[in-house]
Amino acid sequence: MERAMGRPMKYVVVTGGVVSGLGKGVTASSIGVVLKACGLRVTSIKIDPYLNTDAGTMSPFEHGEVFVLDDGGEVDLDLGNYERFLDVTLTRDNNITTGKIYQSVIDKERRGDYLGKTVQVVPHITDAIKDWIGSVSSIPVDGNDGPADVCVIELGGTVGDIESMPFIEALRQLSFSVGKDNFCLIHVSLVPVLGVVGEQKTKPTQHSVRELRALGLTPNLLTCRSAQPLGTSTKEKLSQFCHVPVENILNIHDVPNLWHIPLLLRNQNAHEAILKQLNCASIATPPDLVGWTKMAELYDNLMGTVKIAMVGKYTGLTDSYLSVVKALLHACVACSLKPSIEWIAASDLEDESARTTPEVHNAAWESLKSCSCILVPGGFGDRGVPGMILAAKYARENKIPYLGICLGMQISVIEFSRFVLDLERANSDEFDSSTPYPVVIFMPEGSKTHMGSTMRLGSRRTFFKDADCLASKLYQNPSFVDERHRHRYEVNPDFVNRLEAAGLKFVGSDESGKRMEILELKDHPYYVGVQFHPEFKSRPGKPSALFLGLILAATGKLQAYLGRLPDDIANFRVAEDRSIENCIELRNVARVLTSTALDSSHWLRLYLALKKKNNCGGGLQFCLHSNP
């Protein structure tokens, strides 16, 4: 649905109170899902009041994972929720931080843009915030032309935080300037239950709303987080003391999985309240959430599980690997399974742990050996690296499906160099600058003096060197893929030939052919390492190809999955009354078929069927003769 020319942008602002970590990001994403289901085009902005310019230099223990966008933006993990829920592609400017705002204002002051005026929080900082919101909200993020209909803005932190005050003031000014028909404020708050009394307490929400009103903003809707559904008396009390109609008090109680949250909002008619406030019910349709309902119910009814070993450095905080967890979820659901993740601290697998904490060491190894596959995600620094190397060695020697992402790929190169090539001190420059065998090196274009935004970031193209490789088949045999990167170190090209001669194949590289992007181990059910981060582009219903391959291999279904492709061509494409050239270019058919192992009877059946149906046997004779 195209937005009518001249129609003003509608803003939905989500704030939080009482405590942090209530799920404002998921709430904002779910609101976007419901509005999108009503036929509206939706974009999102996340405001983070911290002074960092972006999330790139922050520890995962401080703020969870750093989510990377196509344009190389290192942003808050909530933008990952927006992309996954809304299936959009955001930009670095969709994440506003105090650091970005103040830097832009100071840069203007240094240029003399303010004509000698005293630069102050009001109006200069607040004007910069409003201008940023206005310009970013007009950038299309869904692949269509023109700005969206609605911009959902999430303000991080909690109301009353001193660092968020300029943003609160800017949003107050924005609400006044755009008018009440274009501004809807949704406040997310906590309704706790005291164990002894068992009563849902509204006082924390009352105080939070009072604080918000004192700052000049009045919520149009309340979204209350609670363990159990809100009682009628609780809603009435909140309505009375917070000046919000009962029908505008929404409840997001604990649910089996996050896909239920848009359905909860729809069932409480959240869309009607928002559309009424924004005076845009006339351009909306009843919400179509059939797909979300199927996903939520499918997950609830899944019985089987697959056990996955996550061997990492930041296992104490699962948000450190949020996108990896979501990508595993998407892949498992596609295989009709639930993920069962065993969080294994890499340091617990090390020999030092065996000496100092033998019980912890034994438990870690027992947990690893009980899993059907192993995943080593990205990370920085040398802590836990010996344990990751041991995990990769165990996966290689015992033919356990393995996926190494970024650091995980580099770990597999170090492990293979040490234990197959017998280069005992092989290492990465990052961990041992004096190693005689630097199989992983610092990128030539990287900066060793500045940390922020100096890595190889964002969407980069990876070209497949071998059409018959496993990764190419999982991606459906393209000549290249575009995936998101975040790294400073890479495989040393001087060692590539030695590694490949010993059986570690580099099947994907950048356009130069010198920067290795994908590795595979031959004669192994699934041993894949990638320099990029495929988890960032995984979506519900559209799992990442490499994560899907890992789960398929872990459950013994990979070869059956790969073997379906030729039958699909024979049974689906031939069944249509049109030439094969209109379905798929003949040279691509040749590449697909010749990259797949078929016995002679399959080839003969496929050839005769295509020749009879499409009268294009000549091209397929080439396929037959060229197939080994």
Catalytic residues: 406, 533, 535
Report the SS3 class of residue 37. Answer: helix
Residue 439 belongs to what H/E stretch? strand 438-442
Pairing of the two strands 183-190 and 221-226: parallel
How far apart CA 555 and CA 373 sit, in angstroms, is 9
**Does the N-terminal peptide bond of residue 123 adopt cis geometry, omega within 30 degrees of 0?**
yes
Rounded CA Rg of the chain: 27
Q: Are 312 and 406 in contact, with CB atoms under 8 Å apart?
A: no
Point out which residues pair with 311 in neighbouring strands.
344
In the chain, the amino acid numbered 189 is S
Half-sphere exposure of 155 (CA within 13 A, CB side): 28
Residue 11 neighbours by CB under 8 Å, 6+ apart: 133, 137, 150, 151, 153, 174, 175, 178, 182, 183, 184
CA dihedral 115, 118, 122, 128 (to 10 degrees): 40
Pairing of strands 480-487, 456-464: antiparallel
Distance, CA of 623 to CA of 607 (rounded, Å): 9
Q: What is the DSSP letter of 349?
A: G
Six-digit token pair at 525?
A: 């059910």
Residue 9 per-residue DSSP state: P
Give the residue carrying structure tokens 């069932």: 267
Distance CA 498, CA 516 (A): 14
Structure tokens at 13: 């602002």
